[in-house]
Amino acid sequence: MYASIIDSIGNTPLVKIQTINPVPGVTILAKLEYMNPGGSIKDRAALYMISQAEADGELTPEKTVIEATSGNTGIGLAMICAVKGYKLALAMAESASEERKKILKARGARIILTPRHLGSDGAIEEAYRLAREYPDKYFLTDQYNNEANWKAHYHTTGPEIMAQTNGQIDAVVATVGTSGTLMGLARYFKDQNHRARVICAEPYLGHGIQGLKNMKESYTPEIFDKTLLGEIVHIDDETAFETARQLAAKEGLFVGMSSGAAMAVALEQAKRLQNGVIVVIFPDSGERYLSTELFSVKKNIHLTVYNSLGGKKEPLNPQGDKEFGVYTCGPTVHRRLDITHFRRHAFTDLLIRYLEYQNVKVRHIVNITDYDDKTIEGAR
């Protein structure tokens, strides 16, 4: 029996991935962090940050706890603040899922929504502003810079993994948001002089994976130290989403977006490793993403193109009977053709033939420059 819900945080199970593991010689073990009472791995950091602040005398009964969160840290804080009797205010982007917002409100948190286009950075700035302007009213847990964040995983998650695997582990894969999980695990295995490599699954810039962060975004957590990591692997949205769907359909594990991202990277690592043990961290469940496109009915997409600017695959779907425009940057008259032009036009020709085969009306435009650069410059 537990004295309170807080005491049940941690000691989450490891489950062997059976069906979607492509390499028989590699054992992939998923650590189900959504089995925490608040439903995510963030329960660990939330408890450590509050407990440390109490011990240091920074958090007193009259203060309101404030944090910038995409949802999971907020849910963990809401649970802990409810038990301990603290008020809680949470800044989050408008893009956060409806499930998370409802859970937070039900647990008594006040939600401060920031503009969608500002992402997590907008929420961070708002939380900092309020804490800075009203220091006597708010205590900022500051998960992006608070060492208690990574220490939670150094003292709990890391030792649990070590004990559950009897030390037989070659790699740990986790996603990056605040970087607390990664930093805690990396420091733990380093201090244990263990061979395990901690691998970071990082989304591309402009991604849509809730809770994760690309470290080239404007605000990088102070607790993040990439030199501690074995490797950083980038993952696109659709691969993460599709892997989460596969986990639900073939493994019976109903997990969230970030779990799909971590699993996708773990599968690639397994192909490289060939023999060994990989532990992959599943931060939360899929129940918090039912209002998103993660588990929506997938459309039958016949053609997908790679957007090199966004770093992700996108469906190419002509709309109804509308004319489909294709623009190709053509050659310059005064120069010889090179392989770049041939490759570009070969791809365009293939694309147009495919669209016409699908009964799509295509209008193709090619520009041809008939003045050289020197002539244009001289005419100015």
Give 296-321 as a DSSP string: SPPP----EEEETTTTEEEE----TT
Query: Long-range contacts made by residues 350-356, C-beta under 8 angstroms, separation at least 24?
Result: 351/326, 352/326, 354/303, 355/318, 355/324
| 161: Cβ contacts below 8 Å, ≥ 6 apart | 14, 31, 169, 172, 185, 279
Question: Closest Cα partner for 47 from 76, 69, 75?
Answer: 76
Q: Do 205 and 309 meet the contact criterion of CB atoms below 8 Å apart?
A: no
Pick the closest to residue 233 from 283, 172, 180 (CA basis): 172
- Residues with active-site annotation: 42, 258
CB 358 within 8 Å of CB 302: yes
Q: Name 285's bridge partners.
A: 255
Q: Which residues, other chains included, contact 225 with Cβ-Cβ below 8 Å and sequence gap of 6+?
A: 183, 186
Distance CA 351, CA 56 (A): 64
Tokens matching residue 180:
């607390």
